[in-house]
Amino acid sequence: MNESKNAHLVKISKYLSKHLRHTPERLGLTLAPGGWVEVETLLSACASHQFPISRAELETVVTTSDKQRFAFNETKTRIRANQGHSVAVDLQLEPRTPPELLYHGTGEKSVPTILQSGLLKMSRHHVHLSENVETAQKVGMRHGKPVILAIDTVAMQEAGFSFYRSDNGVWLVDEVPPQYLRVLSGKTVLSRKC
């Protein structure tokens, strides 16, 4: 795939993220339960707002994104963002049993606050967690010098917290209080034991 085409697909992905996760009303869209919207409605709305997307481009963005931000239903007539919503929508997620440890990547500057207050969802529906250190590392790099936090999911479940898993493998939880966190540097624990 050439650079120009790749850059265009990234632009489409960002546009879809903005409107399917945060501001659907700007395109005149209403998210159905689960965050779904009809594909034809989405494509028409994009075109009428001077951002035309072809069905082929939409399918490419959905199927080739390394982060799998979007999903089609079985018939490819509806599309949704898999997670990351800041708008009110019932995501229709069912509680799942996570691995014993999950990970969260953040920037070094945020660590003192997180160790004091925990991980909070802020304007989103959930806190996002990864199954592996590598993914958390990539997320943390977006926020400066990356720091990886490990989450003791066993203790959290025993305390009554529910975990959910989005279609693209991101684990979701309402919050992570500080007592369930520890800071990792590679495989070395720097502070706070779970």
The alpha carbon of residue 167 and the mean position of all alpha carbons in its chain are separated, in whole angstroms, by: 10
Which residues make up the CATH 3.20.170.30 domain(s) of the chain? Answer: 101-191
Render pLDDT for 95-134 as a digit per residue (tens, 0 to 9).
999 999 999 999 999 999 999 999 998 877 789 999 999 9
Architecture in CATH for domain 101-191? Alpha-Beta Barrel (3.20)
- The H or E element that residue 106 is part of is strand 101-107
Residue 185 confidence (pLDDT):
61
Cα–Cα distance list, 174 to 77, 119, 162, 188 (Å): 30, 9, 8, 27
SS3 144: coil
Q: Is the pLDDT of residue 189 over 60?
A: no
Which residues make up the CATH 1.10.10.970 domain(s) of the chain? Answer: 3-81
In contact, 127 and 180? CB cutoff 8 Å: no
pLDDT bracket for residue 87 (50, 70, 90): confident
Q: Are strands 181-185 and 119-120 parallel, antiparallel or unpaired?
A: unpaired
Among the CATH numbers 1.10.10.970, 3.30.1490.20, 1.10.645.10, 3.40.50.10860, which is that of 3-81? Answer: 1.10.10.970
